Amino acid sequence: MATRRVSSAEGHAALLHAIAHIEFNAINLALDCVYRFRGLAADFYTGWADVAAEEASHFGLVCERLRALGHDYGDFPAHNGLWEMTVKTAHDPLARMALVPRVLEARGLDATPPIMRKLEAIGDAETLRVLEIILRDEIGHVALGDRWFRHFCALRGVEPEATYLALIEDFDAPWPHPPLNLPARREAGFGEGELAVLGAPRQRHGGKR
Residue 79: pLDDT band (50, 70, 90) is confident
Residue 21: per-residue pLDDT: 96
pLDDT in tens, 81-112: 889 999 999 999 999 999 999 999 999 999 99
Candidates 10, 20, 127, 15; CA nearest to 65 is: 127
Please compute the mean of the pLDDT values over residues 165-188 and round it to a whole number: 96
Residue 23: per-residue pLDDT: 97
How far from each other are the two terminal CA atoms of the chain, in whole angstroms? 24
Residue 7: per-residue pLDDT: 83
SS3 content of the chain, % helix, strand, coil (to 5): 70, 0, 30
Residue 141 in contact with residue 104, Cβ under 8 Å? Answer: no
Residue 173 in contact with residue 103, Cβ under 8 Å? Answer: yes
Mean pLDDT of the chain: 94
Q: Let me know the angle formed at the C-alpha of 160 by 141 and 179, rounded to the nearest 5 degrees.
A: 60
Phi and psi at 129, nearest 5°, equal -65, -35
Residue 4: per-residue pLDDT: 64
Residue 1: per-residue pLDDT: 45
Which pTM value belongs to this model? 0.94
Residue 203: per-residue pLDDT: 84
Residue 206: pLDDT band (50, 70, 90) is low
Residue 76 in contact with residue 13, Cβ under 8 Å? Answer: yes
The residue type at 92:
D
Residue 208 in this model has a pLDDT that exceeds 60: no
| 207/34: higher pLDDT | 34
pLDDT in tens, 2-42: 566 788 999 999 999 999 999 999 999 999 999 999 999 99
Residue 205 in this model has a pLDDT that exceeds 80: no
Q: What percent of the chain has pLDDT over 90?
A: 90
Please compute the mean of the pLDDT values over residues 100-125 and round it to a whole number: 96
pLDDT in tens, 129-156: 999 999 999 999 999 999 999 999 999 9
CATH class of 9-198: mainly alpha
